[in-house]
Structure 1
Amino acid sequence: MTDDELYPIGDAARRSGLSVSAVRFYADIGLVAPTALNEAGHRLYDIHAIARLELVRTLRELDADLDEIRRLLDGGTTLHDLLTTHLRVVERQERTLRARRAVLTALIRQGGTAAQAGLMHRLVSMTDEERERIIDDFWNDVGANLDVPEGFVDRLRTMRPVLPADPTAAQLEAWIDLADLVSDPAFRDAVRTYLRDTYAPPETRPLATAPFQEFIHVSGAPLMEELLAACRAGESPRSPRAQRAVTRFMEAATALSGTPLTDEVRDRMADGYRQIPDIVRRMAEEDASSGSLVYDDTHGRYVSLVARINGVAVEEGPDSVPYAWIAEAMRAEEPPSP
C-alpha cells in the first residue's frame, strides 16, 4: 500500500473494517469523501481516506455521534478531548450498570419483589446526605434510653459507611444490605439489646467508659500494633524489641486504673490474654445453645458491612490474633536460678 495508490470502495471497506454501504453512507453525508472517481464514476480511496474511515468505525463503536466525529475530522476538536469526553460517559454508564448489578444480585439472593426492587434502586441512588440521615436515625433509635456509659453510643456511631464515588459491586451490595438492616426495627432492637446486655452490667460497664475506649481505639492502638509488628517480624516474645513494646503497652493499660505494673500484674494480664480464645469460643457456644443475641448477628454485622463499604479489612476471629505469643511477652521475667 502506497500513499498514491487508489482502491475501489470494496477494498476500502475491507481494509477499514466497514461495510460497503457504510463507506458509501459516510461519503454521501460528507464525512469521509472519496479521494477520486474513476472513469466509470466509481469511488476510489487512498490510504489517508481509509485511515479516516477506520477512525470513524472505531469512534462509532465507542458511541461517538456523527456530529462529534465531523468536528474532529474538520479540526474543531482534538482526538484527546473527544476520547476524554467519551471516557466520562463510559464511566457513568459503568457506575449505572454496577448499581443495577448490585440491585439484581441482592434481589436474586433475597427472592425480592417488585416493591423491593424499587427500594433497592432508591438505596443505591441516594445522596451522601440521605445515607448519613439513615445512619443517624439508626443510632438515635438504638441509643435512646440505653443504659451504657455516657458517650459510648456516640463513639460507636463514628464508624459510618462512606460509599466512594466509584464503588465496586461488592460495596454497593454491602450498602443495600446495611441500609435494609438499619431500617429494620427488629435489627435495631437486637443491637440495642446486645449493647445493653454486654455493657450495662457492673462487671463490664468499665469497658464502655471513655478512658477505656480511648485507649483501645486511639492511644493504645499504636502500642499494640508495635507489639504485633515484633511478632510478625518473627521476634521471640522475650526479645528486647518485644519486651520494650509489651512494657509500653502494659504500662499504658494499667495507668487507666492507676495500678502499678508489678510482676504480679504482668502475670495476671498474661493469663487473661492466654485465655481469650477459649473464652470467646465458649461464649459463642453458650450464646448459640441458649439463643442469646451475639455480636456477629448484631453490632458485629453492622461493623462488618461498614468495613466492606469503606474498603477496610474486617477484623478476623480470635484465631487470627497471636494471643499465646502476646501472653508469653507479657509474662514477668523469671528470676535467674541460684
Structure 2
Amino acid sequence: MHDEELYPIGDAARRSGLSVSAVRFYSDEGLIAPTRLNEAGHRLYDIDAIARLELVRTLRELDTDLAGIRRLLEGGTTLHALLSTHLEIVERQERTLRARRAVLRALIGQGGTIAQADLMHRLVSMTDEERERVIDDFWNDVCEGLDVPEGFVDRLRAMRPVLPEDPTAEQLEAWIELGDLVQDRAFRDAVRTYLHETYSADLGRTVAGAPFQEFMYESGVPLVEEVLAAYRAGEPPRSPRAQEAVTRFMEGAAGVTGDPLTPELRDRMADGFQRIPDLLREIADEDAASEDPVYDETHGRYVALVEVINGTAYEEDDLPYLWIAEAMRTSPADA
C-alpha cells in the first residue's frame, strides 16, 4: 500500500476490517470523510483515512461511544485520556456485573424468593457506612447483658468485615450471606446463647480474659506467623529456624500464666498440639449431635465469613499441628 494511492470504499473496508456499510456510516456521521470523490462520485480513501478507520473499529469494539471517538479525531482529547476514561467505565461495569453474579449465585443456591432477591441487591449496594451500621447493630444486640470479662466484647466487635473496593465474587457472596445472617433474629439469638454458655463458665472466662486475648490477637500473632513461615518454607521441625520460631511462641504462651518455659511445659504444649486434630474431630462430632448452638453455626460462621470477606481466611494446611508438636518436643540443646 503506497502513501499516494487512493482506494475505493470496498478496499478501504477490507483493509480496515469494517463492512462497506460501516465505512459509509462513519463518513455520513462526519467521523472519517473520504479523501476525495472520483469523477463518478465514488468515495476514495488514502492510507491515513484507512488507519483512522482501523482506530474507529478498535474503539467501537471496546464499546467506546461515538461522541468520545469524535472528540479524539477532532483533537478534543488524547487517545490516552480517552482509553483511561473508558477503562474506568469498564471497571465500574465489571464491579456491577460481579455483584449481580454474586446475587444470582446466592439466589440459585438458596432457591431464593423475590424478597430475598431484593435483600441481596440492597446488601451488595450498601456503602461502607451502611455496612458498619449493620454490624454495629448486630453486636449491640448480641452482646447486651453478656457476662464476660471486661474488654472481651470490644475484641468480639473488632472482628468486622471490610469489603474491598474491588471484591471478588467469593467475597461478595460471603458478604451477602453474612449481611443476611446478622439481621436474622434466630442467628442473633443463637450467637448470644453460644457466647454466654461458652465464656461465662470458669474456663471460658479465663480464655476471654485480657492476658489470653492479648496473646491470641496481638503479641501472639507475629509469633504464629513466624512458626507458619518456617513450616511453609519446608523447614524440618528440628532446624534452627523452626526451633527459634516455636520456642519464641512457647515463651509467649507461657508468659500468659507467668510460668517459665521448662521441658515439662514444652511436653505438655506438644501433647496439646498433638491432640488438636483428634479434638477438632471430636468437637465436630459433638456439635453435629448437639441441639444447642455450636461454634461453626454461630460465632464461628460469623468469623469464617469475615475472614473470606477480608481475604484473611487460612487454608487448612496452614495449621500444621503435628509439625508444631514435634518441634515443641525438641529441646533447644538437641536442636
Q: TM-score, normalised by structure 2?
A: 0.91
Equivalence for 1:26: 26
Deviation for aligned residue 1:261: 2.9
Equivalence for 2:189: 189
| Whole-Å separation in 1 of the counterparts to 2:322 and 2:68 | 67
Number of matched pairs = 334
Change over 3 Å in CA distance of 1:14–1:193 after alignment to 2: same
Question: Which moved further from structure 2: 242-251 or 134-143?
Answer: 242-251
Deviation for aligned residue 1:306: 1.0
Equivalence for 1:47: 47
For 1:80-99, list aligned pairs within 5 A: 80-99=80-99
Residues 8 and 45 of structure 1 are in contact (CA less than 8 Å); yes or no, is this contact kept in structure 2?
Answer: yes
Deviation for aligned residue 1:180: 0.4
Deviation for aligned residue 1:320: 5.5
Change over 3 Å in CA distance of 1:226–1:72 after alignment to 2: closer
Change over 3 Å in CA distance of 1:35–1:172 after alignment to 2: same
Residues 263 and 332 of structure 1 are in contact (CA less than 8 Å); yes or no, is this contact kept in structure 2?
Answer: no
Question: Which moved further from structure 2: 223-232 or 106-115?
Answer: 223-232
Residues 228 and 318 of structure 2 are in contact (CA less than 8 Å); yes or no, is this contact kept in structure 1?
Answer: no
| Whole-Å separation in 2 of the counterparts to 1:334 and 1:131 | 49
Residues 308 and 314 of structure 1 are in contact (CA less than 8 Å); yes or no, is this contact kept in structure 2?
Answer: no
Matched letter for residue 68 of structure 2: E
Change over 3 Å in CA distance of 1:235–1:29 after alignment to 2: closer
Residues 304 and 314 of structure 1 are in contact (CA less than 8 Å); yes or no, is this contact kept in structure 2?
Answer: no
Gap regions ≥5 residues in structure 1: none
Residues 16 and 53 of structure 1 are in contact (CA less than 8 Å); yes or no, is this contact kept in structure 2?
Answer: yes
Question: Which moved further from structure 2: 127-136 or 98-107?
Answer: 98-107
Deviation for aligned residue 1:106: 1.1
Equivalence for 2:127: 127
| Whole-Å separation in 1 of the counterparts to 2:203 and 2:35 | 91
| Whole-Å separation in 2 of the counterparts to 1:215 and 1:205 | 15
Equivalence for 1:176: 176
Change over 3 Å in CA distance of 1:202–1:35 after alignment to 2: same
Equivalence for 1:331: 329
- Encode CA deviations 1:249-270: one digit per residue, 9 max, x unaligned: 3332222222233333333333
| Whole-Å separation in 2 of the counterparts to 1:216 and 1:233 | 23
Change over 3 Å in CA distance of 1:227–1:9 after alignment to 2: closer
Residues 95 and 166 of structure 1 are in contact (CA less than 8 Å); yes or no, is this contact kept in structure 2?
Answer: yes
Gap regions ≥5 residues in structure 2: none
Matched residue SS, 2:257? coil
Residues 32 and 52 of structure 2 are in contact (CA less than 8 Å); yes or no, is this contact kept in structure 1?
Answer: yes
Change over 3 Å in CA distance of 1:66–1:150 after alignment to 2: same
| Whole-Å separation in 1 of the counterparts to 2:265 and 2:241 | 21
| Whole-Å separation in 2 of the counterparts to 1:176 and 1:271 | 40
For 1:202-217, list aligned pairs within 5 A: 202-217=202-217
| Whole-Å separation in 1 of the counterparts to 2:24 and 2:235 | 75
Matched residue SS, 1:44? strand
| Whole-Å separation in 1 of the counterparts to 2:191 and 2:174 | 18
